[in-house]
Structure 1
C-alpha cells in the first residue's frame, strides 16, 4: 500500500504542515501551496487575511481572493443591528401584551379563560417566556461585540473565554461580572443575563385572585313601626319582660330577617323601641342608727322596727332591721325600689313617689328609684355605703345598623332619639298613658304608639320590679336569681336595664302587624383580578436596560470602527492568535494548564498590514 506524507512548508522561519485552516488564516502564500492538489481549495478560492475587497486594485493585487455579492437582507441582519433591535421589539411587544391584559382585567371578576382554553396565568407564562427569549438575544450579541472592544486594550487571553461564557448564560455572566467589577458597560449585560432568571417568576407574581363580596340579591329585616295596647300587652312582650326581670339569664333575641346568602347588610334604619337612663341621687339617702323606732318600708304597707341603715324620705331603704317581734333576729335588706307615680297608680300596696331629675323626660313608661348596697347582704353587715339611682324607661326611636353573617343577625344601636310629643296638636299626657301619637323617625319612617299602649307596658314592667330584696341572718347569704347586679361587680344597674330595653325592643320587631320589612343587600363571595404592579418593576427594568446596552454597544463600535462581528465564531477564526501567542503554548499541555497560562498572558488586538489579529500586548 502506498502512503502519502502531508506536505510541510516553511512559514516565518518554521516548518508547518499544510491545512485548510492554516491556508484560510493566511499562514501560507499562494506560491507555497503544493502542486499535487493536496489542498482542497484552488488559488481563486483562498481566503483573504487582510479583509474585504475594497476595489479593483485589490482584486488585481490579490487574484486568489474570494468575492461575492450579498443581499440587502444579509447586510441588514449581519452587518448591522436590526435583527437584535427587532428581537428587542418582540420582547417589548410581549411585555406590552401582558400589561394590556392585566389592565383590561384589573379589578374585574376572575375570568375562566381570556381566550378559549387560555387562562390569564397561562397567557402571562407564554408571553413572558417569549419576552425573555427575545430579550436575551440582543444582550448576548452585545456581550459578544463588547469582547472585541475589550481587546482593543491589552487584557488577559482568558477574557475571551469569559466573554463567550457570559454570552451563553448566567454562570458565565457571574464570572464576567466579578472580572469587570462593574466598571465596564459589559457588566450591565452580565447583570441582565443573571437577573433574567427572575423575569418569568416576577411576572407570575403580578396577578393574584383575592376574594371580595359582591351584591347578588336582597335581604330583609323587620323594624317596629306601630304598637297598640294589644300588641304591647301580648304574651311575647310579657315573656320578654319576665325573662329579664325575673331570671338570672342574659336574654338575647334576633329580629326576623331573611338572607339567602348568609351575608347581608342593611343601611341605617330606625325602629320603635325602649330606652333607659339612670342618674345617681345618693345624696337623698339619710343614715339612721339602730334606735328603737318604727319606719315605713319601701313599697309594702308594713313597718320595720329598730332600723339600722339608710332611709329615703323617712322610708327605710337598705340596712338591717328587727324581724317581727323577735328583736334578736335580724333581716338584711340589700335592695329596695320606689316607683314614681301619682294617685292614679294602680295597686293597693304601692306607694307613690315623685321624680327628682326626670321632670322633662319625653314619653316615660316607668320611672323608679333603686337603692342598693354594692356587694349585697354581706356588705350591708359591714355598714358599706349604699347607692341610690333614679332610672326611667321611655319610648324612643333607635337607629340600627344590621348585618347578617355566620348564620346570625347582628344588630348595633348607632344612635337613639327621644320621641318628643311637644309638637303633637291636642296632646293629652298623664303618667300612665298617652293618646295616639305618630312620629317621623331619623330615616323619615313613621312610627305610631296607640292609645293605652304605654299604660299596658308600664303595668307589666312595674309588676316585675321587686319591692325589696332581703335575707335573714340565720342562713348563709345566697345570690339572687334576679336583680343580682348589686352582688356582682361592677354593681351597675345600667347593663341590667340595657338588657331589658334591648330584648323588649327586639321583641317589638317580632310582633305581628307591628312591623315593616327593611330591604338590604345580600352579598356573595367572588374572586377578582388584583394586580400587584410592583412586581413588574424588574422585568421592565431589564427590558429597557437591554435596549440601553445595545445602543451603547452600537455607539462604541461605530466610534471605534469595530466591525459588527458580535458573537460570531468566524471572527475568532479569521482574526485569531498570531504565531507569537501560539508559540507560548506547548501543544502537549492539558486544557487546565492552558487555562492557567491564559489567565496570565496579556494580549491585544493589533492590525498589521491590514490584517487584525490577537497579539501579545
Structure 2
C-alpha cells in the first residue's frame, strides 16, 4: 500500500459513519465521532466541513424502511400537478367542444378562444413538466446507485450535472437523451423535449371556416312567389288586366320554342344578399304530358282522328295551292312534290290515355298527327289515302296540378327544384276545366252570361306532399275555362315541311313548328330522330311549356294578392365559424398520458431501488458527495470548466450501508444509501485520484 493510500485508510478507519443507529442516509465521514445532534464543524486543510446528521426519530426510521405511504406522500406535489394537467386537458376539450361550429366572434370571459386555449395549454404544459423534472432528478440518484446483489457500477461524476441540466429542458434534455442514462431517463427527456412544440401544435386545433350564416341585417329579404289560387274573378266578372292574353300566349310560346336540349327554369327568387334558402313549399302549377295514341287499341278514336286529320290535310293542301298561285309562287311551289305534314287539333272528348285524376284537371287536350315519311302534295283521293296510311298520332295534354318546390339562391344564382307533384281534386263542382269539353262555355261567353253560369264555382286541389306549410290550392272555374280557350286557339295549327324541314305552307296558331322540330329533327337536317328520342323531345317541349305557364301563374295577377302567395325564406351572409381539428390535440393528450406513465414508473423504480425520495433537493445535493471526492476534484475557485473536466474523469457510485464492510455503523445495521464517493478499495485500486 502506498503512503497516500495508507494515510487515507488510517483516516477512514478512525471515522464513525453513523453517530447513532438512526442517523440519516446522507451522513458522511468525519475526522472524529460526534454525539452532538447538531451538525458539528471541523477544521481541516480546506477549512470548515459540514457533516449531515440528525437526531434519532421514529419518522426517520419509517422513511428508512421505505414505507409506501411515506413514498407516495413525498410524490404528492407531482401527483397533484399531474392531476391539474389532466383537469386542464379536460377543460380544453370542453371549451373546444363548446366552441366547435360556433361563430368566431363569440367571446369567452371577455377574451378570444385562442387566448384561453393558449393559457390552458401553458398550464397543462407546466403541469406535466413538473413530474418530468422531479422524476429526472430522482432518477439521477438511482443512476448512481449500484443494483442490489450485483457488481458495483461506477458512473462519471459529470452525469450529475447532465441530469441537472436535463431537468431544465433544452440542450440539457438533448444531452441526456443522446448520452443515454437509462431507458426511463431517456423516456422522460423525450417527453420534456416534446414540450417545445406543445403550444404551437395545440393552436393548430382551431381553424376558421367561412360559411353561410343567418343574416342579422333587418332590411335583408328573401321572397319567392307561388300560386295558391288561379282566379281573376272579382265577384261579378273577370278582372283582366291589359295584355293578360298576350302574356299567356308569350308564356306558351316561350316554352314551345325552347330547344329540347334545354330546360325552362322556374321563376327567379328575390334574395337581397345573394345567398338565401327556403323551406319546401307548395304551389299551384300546370303540368304537361304526352301519350302515344297510335299504340292505343281504340278503333273509334282512330277513326275520329283519321277523319279530322284528313279534312285538315285537304284544307291545307287546297289553301296552299291557291295561296301559292295567287301570290306568284306557283313555279316554286310546283317544284316541291313531297312534304312532311304536321297537324295539331283539339280532342273533343277524353281518350283514356291518362288516368282519371289527371283527366279531371285537363285544361287543354290536343293531338298531333305527323308522318315520318315524305308524302305527295297532290290532293287527289289516292294520294290522300296513301298519306293517311302513314300518319302517326300523339296526345298533348296540359292539366292543373300542385307541386312541392325547394328554392335556393347561391352567389346570386337562383335554383328551384321540383321534389313532388300531385294531380288530384279534393273537392269541386262536377264540371270540366277544358273548354273543348264544356258545351256551356261558348254560349255564355258570347252572350256575357258566364257569371250566371259559373259564378264563384271553384275546384280545390289536394295539397302537395313534403311541403312545410299548409295552404289551400283552388282554381276558379270561369277563369280556368277562359285560359283554356286561349290555350286551345294556340294549339290549333298545321303545316307542311320540305325534306330539310323548311316550311312550305302553314295554317294556324304557329305551335306546330315547335313540335315539328321534335318529331322530324332540326332545320336543314335530313335524318329522322329515333322513335324513342322523338317521344322524349315532344315530352320536353310539353314540360317546358307547362313550366313557363306555371311561372306566369305564380307571378301574375291571378294570385289575387293573397298573403300566403309570397313565401319568405332565410337570408344568409358570409360568416367565420370555428372548426376544431381534434387530431391536433393528440400531442398534449399524449404528453400528459406518457407523463403519467413516466411518473408511475419512476415511483416504482424508487421503491424497488430502496432509495429515499430526494428528487431535486439542493440540501441533499450538498451532502451527497463525500469530502475526499470533493477535495480531489478541486474547488469552485479553479473554475467551472476545470470542475467539469475533473468530473468526467472521476467515477463514483451511491453506496449503501451494507456495501462498506470496512465502515460499519455503531449498531452494525445496513440498508439505506450512504454517499456519493469511491470506497477505499476502489480508490487504491483505480488510482483515479
Query: Do Structure 1 and Structure 2 share a fold, with TM-score over 0.5?
Result: yes
Other-structure match for 1:350: none
Q: 1:281–1:390: 8 Å Cα contact kept in structure 2?
A: yes
> Structure 2 residue aligned with 1:234, among 226, 245, 256?
245
Q: How does 1:54-133 map to 2 (within 5 A)?
A: 54-55=55-56, 80-116=74-110, 118-133=111-126
Q: 1:298–1:336: 8 Å Cα contact kept in structure 2?
A: no
Matched, 1:163 2:163: yes
Q: How many residues align?
A: 521
Q: 2:245–2:486: 8 Å Cα contact kept in structure 1?
A: no
Other-structure match for 2:193: 194
Please state whether the residue corresponding to 1:502 is helix, strand or coil.
helix
Other-structure match for 2:205: 206
Q: 1:437–1:449: 8 Å Cα contact kept in structure 2?
A: yes
Question: 1:82 Cα deviation (Å)?
Answer: 4.3
Other-structure match for 1:346: none
CA RMSD of aligned residues (A): 5.0
- Give the structure with the larger strand fraction: 1
Other-structure match for 1:495: 540
Structure 2 vs 1, CA of residues 13 and 481 (structure 1 numbering), >3 Å: closer, same or farther? Answer: farther
Please state whether the residue corresponding to 1:329 is helix, strand or coil.
coil
Structure 2 vs 1, CA of residues 104 and 534 (structure 1 numbering), >3 Å: closer, same or farther? Answer: same
Other-structure match for 1:389: 394
Deviations 1:146-188 (CA, angstroms, capped at 9, x unpaired): 122123232653755653453332555456456659x843343
> Structure 1 residue aligned with 2:289, among 257, 272, 277?
277
Structure 2 vs 1, CA of residues 221 and 156 (structure 1 numbering), >3 Å: closer, same or farther? Answer: same
Matched, 1:355 2:367: no
Structure 2 vs 1, CA of residues 614 and 517 (structure 1 numbering), >3 Å: closer, same or farther? Answer: same
Matched, 1:485 2:518: yes
CA distance in 1, matches of 2:337, 2:487: 31
Matched, 1:460 2:486: yes
Other-structure match for 1:302: 315
Structure 2 vs 1, CA of residues 120 and 594 (structure 1 numbering), >3 Å: closer, same or farther? Answer: same
> Gaps (5+ residues) in structure 2?
10-25, 34-41, 58-69, 147-152, 233-237, 298-306, 319-329, 376-386, 442-453, 464-468, 505-511, 523-528, 666-673
Question: 1:592 Cα deviation (Å)?
Answer: 13
CA distance in 2, matches of 1:386, 1:12: 136
Q: 1:238–1:460: 8 Å Cα contact kept in structure 2?
A: yes
Q: 2:425–2:462: 8 Å Cα contact kept in structure 1?
A: no
Q: 2:254–2:548: 8 Å Cα contact kept in structure 1?
A: no
CA distance in 1, matches of 2:131, 2:362: 87
Matched, 1:562 2:611: yes
CA distance in 1, matches of 2:583, 2:198: 13
Question: 1:145 Cα deviation (Å)?
Answer: 0.9
CA distance in 2, matches of 1:571, 1:119: 46
Q: How does 1:246-395 map to 2 (within 5 A)?
A: 252=264, 255=267, 257-283=269-295, 297=310, 299-302=312-315, 329-333=336-340, 336-342=342-348, 355=351, 357-358=353-354, 360=356, 361-371=359-369, 388-395=393-400
Matched, 1:424 2:428: yes
Q: 1:237–1:504: 8 Å Cα contact kept in structure 2?
A: yes
CA distance in 2, matches of 1:509, 1:36: 112
Higher relative contact order (CA closer than 8 Å, sequence separation 6+): 2
Structure 2 vs 1, CA of residues 324 and 565 (structure 1 numbering), >3 Å: closer, same or farther? Answer: same
Q: How does 1:388-537 map to 2 (within 5 A)?
A: 388-420=393-425, 423-427=427-431, 431-433=436-438, 436-442=457-463, 444-465=470-491, 467-472=493-498, 482-483=514-515, 484-486=517-519, 487=521, 490-491=533-534, 492-514=537-559, 516-537=565-586
- Give the structure with the larger helix fraction: 2
CA distance in 2, matches of 1:584, 1:507: 104
